[in-house]
């Protein structure tokens, strides 16, 4: 298994050097620096070096620590959902939809349950987008219906049917006692009940608290976690609904 074990790289191979920064709720003095070293030590940084400490206000200190970690990373034990579709540019996405689907791709998005936090769905759908990438509304060949927050599952199913949605995007940001998992299970069950197999819209779920590996368990087609960009979602939709379904149009235009 040699070659699957790696360590952080600072200046030379295998030196294990990392840099970290954090704030402790203590004023800056000798004890504070010692506290920072203690934290770094517990994080596996040994030896650790406090290279910067600056007091902020009366009661907090910011630290930058450099040091060597004793942990090993086993690449063969890493489990992730690899992107199994090509990442396309907005232009390529629009072209594929126009040429191969020959109508606009309809996306209905919502936050379901009691979650009132639309930042996730808005980041993906709104023109404004996130981190310099525009949302799906910006794509000429996407027809986007953003239902906003606190949408009930029956309401979502109804709108998806009325809009002839190709895909339904659901965001869950804030959750208590795994509410996000219950909500998504309820949603996917409702869609399975309301649509015949093969005519159900693609179900896509996103939010920082989801495990991307749980799609099958929750009955949805895809889960996107933290840091997903609108372009990734758009590329996935085109992959799932257009390029991998050639010739088998899901429904009449």
Q: How many CA atoms lie within 13 A of 161 on its CB side?
A: 13
* Dihedral sign, Cα of residue 202, residue 203, residue 206, residue 211: negative
Contact 82, 95 (CB under 8 A): no
Residues 187-246 that bind other proteins (CB under 8 A): 227
56 near other proteins (CB under 8 A): yes
Verify binding: residue 73, other proteins, rule CB under 8 A: no
User: Considering the complex, what minimum distance in angstroms separates the CB of residue 127 from other proteins?
Assistant: 5
Which region among 27-35, 91-99, 132-140, 186-194 touches other proteins (by CB under 8 A)? 132-140
52 binding other proteins? (CB under 8 A): no
Q: Are strands 5-6 and 73-74 parallel, antiparallel or unpaired?
A: antiparallel
Q: How many CB atoms lie within 10 A of CB 46?
A: 14
Taking CB under 8 A as the criterion, the residue among 9, 34, 54, 182 binding other proteins is: 54
4, 23, 38, 89: which one binds other proteins (CB under 8 A): 23
Residues 206, 214: Cα–Cα separation, whole Å: 12
Rounded Cα distance between 60 and 54, Å, is 9
Instruction: Based on the shown chain and the rule CB under 8 A, indicate whether residue 99 belongs to the binding site for other proteins.
Output: no
| Eight-class DSSP state of 3 | T
Catalytic (active site) residue 30: no
User: In angstroms, rounded to a whole number, what is the distance separating the alpha carbons of residues 157 and 175?
Assistant: 22
Binding-site member from 128, 182, 192, 251 for other proteins (CB under 8 A): 128
- Phi, psi at residue 77, to the nearest 5°? -100, 5
The catalytic residue among 128, 134, 164, 250 is 128
Angstrom distance (rounded) from CA 147 to CA 237: 19
Judged by CB under 8 A, which of 43, 145, 174, 214 binds other proteins?
A: 174
Tell me if 71 contacts other proteins by CB under 8 A: no
Comparison of 99 and 140: residue with beta carbon closer to other proteins: 140
- Applying CB under 8 A, the span of 21-29, 97-105, 196-204, 235-243 interacting with other proteins comes to 21-29
Tokens representing 115?
A: 């979650």
Smallest separation, CB 36 to other proteins (Å): 13
Which listed range, 42-50, 124-132, 160-168, 191-199, lies at the site for other proteins (CB under 8 A)?
124-132
The residue among 7, 114, 131, 25 whose CA lies nearest residue 69 is 7
φ, ψ of residue 7 to 5 degrees: the values are: -130, 160
Residues that bind other proteins (CB under 8 A): 21-23, 54, 56, 60, 62, 116-119, 122, 126-132, 134, 138, 148-149, 173-174, 227
Residues acting as catalytic residues: 128
């Amino acid at each position: 298994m040699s070659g699957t074990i790696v360590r952080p790289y600072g200046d030379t191979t295998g030196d294990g050097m990392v840099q970290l920064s954090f704030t402790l709720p203590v004023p800056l003095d000798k004890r504070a620096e010692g506290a920072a070293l203690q934290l770094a030590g517990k994080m596996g940084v040994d030896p650790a070096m406090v290279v910067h400490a600056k007091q902020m206000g009366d009661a907090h200190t910011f630290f930058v620590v450099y040091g060597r970690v004793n942990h090993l990373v086993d690449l063969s034990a890493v489990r992730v959902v690899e992107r199994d579709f090509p990442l396309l540019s907005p232009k390529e996405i629009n072209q594929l939809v126009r040429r191969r689907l020959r109508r606009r791709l309809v996306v209905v998005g919502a936050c379901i349950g009691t979650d009132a936090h639309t930042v996730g769905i808005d980041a993906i759908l709104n023109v404004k987008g996130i981190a310099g990438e525009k949302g799906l509304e910006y794509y000429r060949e996407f027809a986007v219906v953003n239902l906003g927050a606190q949408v009930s599952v029956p309401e979502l199913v109804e709108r998806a049917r009325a809009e002839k949605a190709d895909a339904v995007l659901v965001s869950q940001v804030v959750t208590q006692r795994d509410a996000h998992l219950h909500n998504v299970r309820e949603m996917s069950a409702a869609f399975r009940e309301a649509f015949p197999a093969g005519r159900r819209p693609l179900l896509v779920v996103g939010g920082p608290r989801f495990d991307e590996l749980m799609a099958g368990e929750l009955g949805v087609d895809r889960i996107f976690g933290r840091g997903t960009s609108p372009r990734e979602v758009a590329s996935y939709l085109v992959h799932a609904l257009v390029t991998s379904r050639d010739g088998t149009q899901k429904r009449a235009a």
